[in-house]
Structure 1
Amino acid sequence: MRLKLAAAAAFLAALVATPFILDRAFPIDLTRLTATGAEVLDREGRTLSVLPVPGGTWRLRTNTADVPGSLTDLLIAAEDRRFHQHPGVDPVALTRAAVQWVRAGRVVSGGSTLTMQAARLLEPRPRNLRSKLIEIFRAFQLEARFSKDEILGIWLTLAPQGGNIEGIRAGSLAWFGRPATRLDAAESALLIALARRPSTLRPDRHPDAARRARDAVLARRGGPAAGMSAADRELAVAAAMPDRRHAMPRLAPHLSREMARGATGPVTLTLDAGLQRATERLAEEVLTTLPDRAALSIVIADIRTREIRALIGGEWGSESRAGALDLSRAVRSPGSALKPFLYAMAFERGIVTPSTLIADLPRHFGAYAPENFSRDFAGRVTAADALRMSLNLPAVALLDQLGALRFASALKLAGAPPRLPRGADASLPLALGGAGTTLRDMTALYATLADEGRSLPLRLLPGDATDDAQQAVERRAAQAVAAILVQRFPGGGPAGVAWKTGTSWGGRDSWAMGFDARHVAGVWIGRPDGTAMPGATGRHAALPVLARVFALLPEAPRQGMRVVADAPRRQAPADRLRLLFPPPGASLAEGAGPVTLRAAGGQRPLTFLVDGAPLPAEPARREVAWTPPGPGFYRVTVLDADGVASSVAVRVRQPETTASDVVLIPTGAQR
């Protein structure tokens, strides 16, 4: 008797232990689940960029919280109605599939539960009986290890969506161009159906088959008891099929690649997606105007937090412009762009004041005899005017009194350490850009001037602002320099911006740096290989771009503006809202292409309307393209955030050759 009891106990123990032994002996391979692409988010959680997994597959980790509840309801209704009741295998479904197989002599329905499908997605195998038995075993393993929501997450992450697209989040971006959280019932049904036969149900190649499959999924959940009214179902069935794949999000590609390297989850940056998108569009427009092989880099940061809001590293993908390189980190000569900090130090140490008269006359400093860019001399000028005019002799003279090593140390403290040749010491040419720096460092330097001399590094990752700021230059000295640099842009642009340009020898580098009370921005233009661009200067090449950058930014608050309030040369208040183009009473020729409507002043965001109908536009911009639908009279209106409006009446005429007609320049063309 005892032997029988012992044998029975051993048998029961073996029966209980067998699943655990098999689970340990044959563990589930979760490699595909963990091999997901990187996702880079902006400060508000909006997708900036996604990167594929090695090999080029677009796959993003997806949980039930990442999709609408209606999608998971549709999925369960279409694929596995008893998902929440069975232990991974549905005996009813398997029995039905087996009977249908015997009667028809072929597989009519697979009988696979969502858990079994998840197992197959984790470990793809040929579709045969052996694979089905393995899937059953894996389904029990999954149910023992994971919750029902986690199992759904496996399916949502790995479900094929056609081509190199896997998972519902990647599928939503590819087929609908928006996050999965915003999918409606028809879109959700299409992605669920697509997972069944991704090659034959692709909506861009087989729209009719895709529509029938989508409607079949909707029908599985079409009654009121299932949560969808008849009207809602009719609306879903009538929805159009996507006819193309959307490009995956790829804002800030240089930063995304840099910051996502080695990341195991989504990476959140300080960038603003809207501003980044508008800045990239601006860069695309500017690049068409630059000399051959010339590149462009832009950095925009918040002065208070030092968080970078937008960054253009170059033209991504362009071989002739070294698009793979992040040129905001390239070490280049800053030219005269270092002078403002030099003057701030001179003011701080009492060497000069803004009103001190200094000589701009020929002078030798040992063997060094600097010249002005214009090759002439201004004579006696105030220090403020010498800085504003970017005269070279006074700057070198100030550095001679200040000390080149002291100036280099101060630059390092302010966040822009000069890169000198190996073994070289700082010397007088440093005043005119005789050292290397980067656009990121120069932006940090100008943020120091904008923030009353407080130095902090620029930041790409969000978090509390650091309290370890250092006073790199005395507060009043920084304010004095900021006041000197507040001036109008030569070609027009926002008021209240302090700016300075720089040009390296031979026009190799063109710089424009600026700040208002809220933002600091820098623009660099040059050839990545360092070859010269004869005739290119910071004033003519980079400064117009800087003006357009500040036109994208929200206007700085009129109250508490430290730079403008402390400036002895006060600027006029912000311009009233007005339309720059078209002018009142303009007569436009039909058929000349898109017209660029431009506005100035007012509080952004601006809304452009034609005959009361709003035009699609980027909120950060002050211009929008409009194509007149035909001849006639139109009223063009711009409305700002305060509700102020400005309108003009225009006439679109049949093409004629008359002197009174306004010649239209299509958007993107050059004057």
Structure 2
Amino acid sequence: MTHKKIWILIKAFLVIAGIVFSIRIIFTFVPYKKLEQFKKRQHSTKFLDRNGGVIYIAPLDNGLRREYMKIKDIPITIKRIFIKAEDKRFFQHWGFDLIAISRSFFQNLVYKRTTSGASTITMQLSRLISPHPKTVKGKIAEIFNAFRLECKLSKNEILELWFNSIPYGYNAEGVATASKTFYGANLNELSIPQVLSLAVIPRSPVKYNPITNVVESKKAIKKLAYSLRMKINDIDIDNSLNSTNKYQYFNNAPHFVNFIQKNSNLSGEIKTSLDLKLQNFTNNRLNKYVEKNIESRITNGAVLVIKNQTGEIFCYLGSRDFLNKEYSGEIDGVHILRQPGSTLKPYLYAYAFENGFLPNDILPDIPTEFGNEKIYIPLNFNNRFNGPIRIRVALASSLNIPAVYIATKLGVKNFTQKLINWGFDSLKGKEDFIGSGIAIGDGEVSLYETTRAFSSFPRNGNLPNLTYLQKNEPYIEGKNIINEETASLICNILSDKKSRILGFGNSKLFDTSFEAMFKTGTSNQFNNIWAFGATTDFTVGVWMGDFAGNTIIGRAGSSVPAMLVVDVLKYLSEIKKPDDFKISKKLKQIDICSLSGKIPQDFCPHKTKEYVFLDSNIQKCDYHKLQNDKVVISLPDIYKKWVKSSHNVELFDTENNKYPEIISPNNNSVFYYDSSVSADSQAVKIEITNKNKNEMLTINVNGNFYKKLSSPFKFFFPIKRGKFNIEVIGNGGIDNIDLTVK
């Protein structure tokens, strides 16, 4: 060949190369709308826990599952086998393989039927992106579009799209989904015969389905292995096919997944904040406690666990079993609204501390009527009255009357607004309908709201924004609700074992090897029992009861959810022991009189220590006095009736007390006559206290003699409409009250 001819060939080659290169450049920038639409296709949302465990793989709207896996995460063995089986010159061609096309043309011509399709991986992908009829024209379009793909995408991008789009039937697309669908395994867990099986199924999804057609599937695997020169024996194939198992896409946290889907449009792979090990541990414990108390009508429960520093949700149980229809398992107990019982008291006292009250201040735990004509008389859980009570003890022991008392002092609307600001959105619009009973659960809130709010105490008064996504930050700022010293006081009080003895006795339930704070509550109808606990690291909230609202019977109370709270905190502490709650530097510790809460006199018999604000000015105790070298107790007048009714007259007697005295009802009380009820069934209970238990007292009504009365000085006065003056006369004096019946 002459130099001239060689030069002509070189020129021709360069011209052709230039044309091809120009075409590639053009196709690189010319829009391919169908490709862009294809890349935006919806894929199955894969919910992962914080450690990478699969929570759930959600189907698309049509029931199809199409998981997406990046090419770098697909095992190299799978990539090699699939490429050799489908397109061994994949990395050498530009979308179409001329050698394979020529071979296929002559084979089909000789056998007068289609024996080989010659479609490259890129051509298969182009067919998925732009479907076409199986005609010569369609094949040409397929080749053209394959070339366009090669112009616009790298080889790895093509492989990634193809591996995630291969149709397998059985509502499965992509190798990651197929691996689970047919073998119940992840790609990296597949054997070689199983990989070969996945490579041949797309050629005929019905014929080569290893679940429904084992014989044909085995033949196809052996044939493919032979063509790839892979040594594989029948035993290995049989063992692999025997392990076929239609994957059950079980949802390990259905309420949590529903919560995410309801509040976001996230898709693809979602790394959530949930800890599946903790979730499963908590679910097992919840089932244990519910089963143990099923006869008490505790049929369900809900749990929320929050990491304090970040607001991440570590555990989310909406019910004990989502699939249990008998007990309405599909209801999400984390978000339903229920009466919270005493669980709102920490927020009430925190609000009080920010409005001039101190933990050493004294509140009256005595029979008290709240309201005007609508009289409300709360009782403590144990039906006892304890007289003057320090706020620390009132909160730690969860006493009702002091809580209602302080709510009325602060203003019910003011406190309700504070709760709304604290994240209790369920109370919005109800401010005008909530009474002083809000202090002990008169209102409906959710476990989500209350657990979130409770976590603000170990967060130094900062309310977190809860998140279902994993965060890698040490602390995420929220919303400042209360100041640091107030939060510190609440943590200290609710972790104070001694101060809760009055309300809960010497129970060992809350005895933990680490410092933790707790609060429990039971609604007034005994159909909702709650418990909350927190360390410096985590906050746990538990609700138990019955979704139908049935009253809990028997001895089951808030100790049942409290046991679960303790179990969860102990589980978490074994992973990392939490730090103790720190006392704010804006607090100081002082000595106080245990009875008055004030600076003790030298003769005060009992003293204790208390934290107060740095600028607090505490007065000296005036509850104890020296009379004739004897220490006597002199309580404020508000406690007189309680002293007398408690039969401790001798102990608390001072020169100001008078006897006899009517202690119930209050003077100027108003009652209503119910005409629908028999007159014989309507009466007012009159209670009188008198120092001399052996004396006979005279009772007059409207100035006329009514009866003689002996100890215990109680009687029922039948009522009718009108005004009445009840008078009692004894050796020590006279007392009277006015009543009105409408």
User: Normalising by structure 2, what TM-score?
Assistant: 0.65
Partner of 2:69: 62
Please state how far the C-alpha of 1:281 moved relative to its aligned partner.
4.2
Aligned with 1:470 (options 462, 472, 480): 480
Whole-Å separation in 2 of the counterparts to 1:22 and 1:387? 71
Please state how far the C-alpha of 1:348 moved relative to its aligned partner.
5.5
Q: Secondary structure in 2 aligned to 1:331?
A: coil
Any idea what the Cα deviations from partners look like across 1:423-471, whole Å, max 9, x if unmatched? 6165311101112222111111211222343332323234443335525
Whole-Å separation in 1 of the counterparts to 2:365 and 2:509? 27
Where does the alignment leave 5 or more consecutive residues of structure 1 unmatched?
Answer: 1-7, 224-229, 570-671
Q: Does residue 513 in structure 1 map to residue 539 in structure 2? A: no
Please state how far the C-alpha of 1:37 moved relative to its aligned partner.
1.6
Partner of 1:612: none
Is residue 74–residue 187 contact of structure 2 (8 Å, CA) maintained in 1? yes
Q: Secondary structure in 1 aligned to 2:167?
A: coil
Please state how far the C-alpha of 1:126 moved relative to its aligned partner.
6.2
Partner of 1:244: 245
Count of residue pairs the alignment pairs up = 552
Aligned residue runs from structure 1 range 293-442, under 5 A? 294-314=299-319, 315-347=321-353, 351-353=357-359, 358-366=363-371, 367-379=375-387, 382-417=390-425, 419=427, 422=430, 424=432, 426-442=434-450
In the alignment, residue 405 of structure 1 is paired with which amino acid?
K
Is residue 521–residue 558 contact of structure 2 (8 Å, CA) maintained in 1? yes
Q: Does residue 156 in structure 1 map to residue 163 in structure 2? A: yes
Whole-Å separation in 1 of the counterparts to 2:201 and 2:63? 20
Q: 1:201 to 1:245 in 2, by over 3 A?
A: same
Q: 1:130 to 1:284 in 2, by over 3 A?
A: farther
Whole-Å separation in 2 of the counterparts to 1:118 and 1:63? 16
Is residue 42–residue 268 contact of structure 1 (8 Å, CA) maintained in 2? yes
Please state how far the C-alpha of 1:513 moved relative to its aligned partner.
0.8
Aligned with 1:108 (options 96, 102, 115): 115
Whole-Å separation in 2 of the counterparts to 1:25 and 1:459? 39
Partner of 2:493: 481
In the alignment, residue 263 of structure 1 is paired with which amino acid?
L
Whole-Å separation in 2 of the counterparts to 1:189 and 1:152? 17
Which stretch shifts more, 290-299 or 110-119? 290-299
In the alignment, residue 301 of structure 1 is paired with which amino acid?
I
Any idea what the Cα deviations from partners look like across 1:12-57, whole Å, max 9, x if unmatched? 99x9699969987995584486121222233344432221111100
Q: Secondary structure in 2 aligned to 1:327?
A: coil
Partner of 1:597: none
Q: Does residue 548 in structure 1 map to residue 567 in structure 2? A: yes
Is residue 336–residue 390 contact of structure 1 (8 Å, CA) maintained in 2? yes
Whole-Å separation in 1 of the counterparts to 2:54 and 2:579? 33
Is residue 63–residue 152 contact of structure 1 (8 Å, CA) maintained in 2? no
Whole-Å separation in 1 of the counterparts to 2:315 and 2:233? 41
Q: 1:21 to 1:362 in 2, by over 3 A?
A: closer
Partner of 1:589: none
Partner of 1:269: 272
Is residue 203–residue 242 contact of structure 1 (8 Å, CA) maintained in 2? no
Any idea what the Cα deviations from partners look like across 1:519-547, whole Å, max 9, x if unmatched? 11111124445554455865154223323
Please state how far the C-alpha of 1:493 moved relative to its aligned partner.
8.1
Is residue 408–residue 418 contact of structure 1 (8 Å, CA) maintained in 2? no
Is residue 43–residue 269 contact of structure 1 (8 Å, CA) maintained in 2? yes
Please state how far the C-alpha of 1:286 moved relative to its aligned partner.
5.2
User: Normalising by structure 1, what TM-score?
Assistant: 0.71
Q: Secondary structure in 1 aligned to 2:521?
A: strand
Q: 1:104 to 1:26 in 2, by over 3 A?
A: farther
Whole-Å separation in 2 of the counterparts to 1:286 and 1:561? 29
Is residue 512–residue 538 contact of structure 1 (8 Å, CA) maintained in 2? no
In the alignment, residue 61 of structure 1 is paired with which amino acid?
Y
Q: Secondary structure in 2 aligned to 1:520?
A: strand
Whole-Å separation in 2 of the counterparts to 1:232 and 1:87? 36
Question: Identity over aligned residues, as a percent?
Answer: 25
Please state how far the C-alpha of 1:394 moved relative to its aligned partner.
1.8
Any idea what the Cα deviations from partners look like across 1:165-191, whole Å, max 9, x if unmatched? 111122233344454355554443332
Q: 1:467 to 1:222 in 2, by over 3 A?
A: same
Aligned residue runs from structure 1 range 566-581, under 5 A? none
Whole-Å separation in 1 of the counterparts to 2:209 and 2:284? 31
Is residue 405–residue 425 contact of structure 1 (8 Å, CA) maintained in 2? no
Is residue 410–residue 472 contact of structure 1 (8 Å, CA) maintained in 2? no
CA RMSD in angstroms, aligned pairs only = 4.1
Whole-Å separation in 1 of the counterparts to 2:258 and 2:232? 46
Aligned residue runs from structure 1 range 76-155, under 5 A? 76-123=83-130, 129=136, 131-155=138-162
Please state how far the C-alpha of 1:83 moved relative to its aligned partner.
0.7
Is residue 506–residue 534 contact of structure 1 (8 Å, CA) maintained in 2? no
Is residue 225–residue 232 contact of structure 2 (8 Å, CA) maintained in 1? no
Q: Secondary structure in 2 aligned to 1:34?
A: coil
Aligned with 2:522 (options 503, 518, 521): 503
Is residue 464–residue 477 contact of structure 2 (8 Å, CA) maintained in 1? no
Q: 1:244 to 1:24 in 2, by over 3 A?
A: same
Whole-Å separation in 2 of the counterparts to 1:535 and 1:525? 15
Q: 1:424 to 1:321 in 2, by over 3 A?
A: farther
Aligned residue runs from structure 1 range 5-20, under 5 A? none
Partner of 2:692: none
Which stretch shifts more, 204-213 or 160-169? 204-213
Q: 1:103 to 1:204 in 2, by over 3 A?
A: same
Whole-Å separation in 2 of the counterparts to 1:189 and 1:478? 64
Q: Secondary structure in 2 aligned to 1:161?
A: strand
Please state how far the C-alpha of 1:80 moved relative to its aligned partner.
0.7
Please state how far the C-alpha of 1:403 moved relative to its aligned partner.
3.1
Q: Secondary structure in 2 aligned to 1:85?
A: coil
Q: 1:203 to 1:270 in 2, by over 3 A?
A: same
Whole-Å separation in 2 of the counterparts to 1:380 and 1:232? 87
Is residue 280–residue 312 contact of structure 1 (8 Å, CA) maintained in 2? yes
Please state how far the C-alpha of 1:333 moved relative to its aligned partner.
1.6
Any idea what the Cα deviations from partners look like across 1:202-225, whole Å, max 9, x if unmatched? 3333334434434544455556xx
Q: Which has the greater radius of gyration?
A: 2
Any idea what the Cα deviations from partners look like across 1:35-85, whole Å, max 9, x if unmatched? 212222333444322211111001122331231122111111111101111
In the alignment, residue 73 of structure 1 is paired with which amino acid?
R
Whole-Å separation in 1 of the counterparts to 2:519 and 2:69? 48
Any idea what the Cα deviations from partners look like across 1:397-442, whole Å, max 9, x if unmatched? 2223333334334434443456155461653111011122221111
Q: Secondary structure in 2 aligned to 1:523?
A: strand
Is residue 68–residue 183 contact of structure 1 (8 Å, CA) maintained in 2? no
Which stretch shifts more, 54-63 or 502-511? 502-511
Is residue 359–residue 394 contact of structure 1 (8 Å, CA) maintained in 2? yes
Q: 1:498 to 1:555 in 2, by over 3 A?
A: farther
Q: Secondary structure in 2 aligned to 1:171?
A: helix
In the alignment, residue 341 of structure 1 is paired with which amino acid?
Y
Is residue 337–residue 511 contact of structure 1 (8 Å, CA) maintained in 2? yes
Where does the alignment leave 5 or more consecutive residues of structure 2 unmatched?
Answer: 1-14, 501-505, 590-607, 610-742
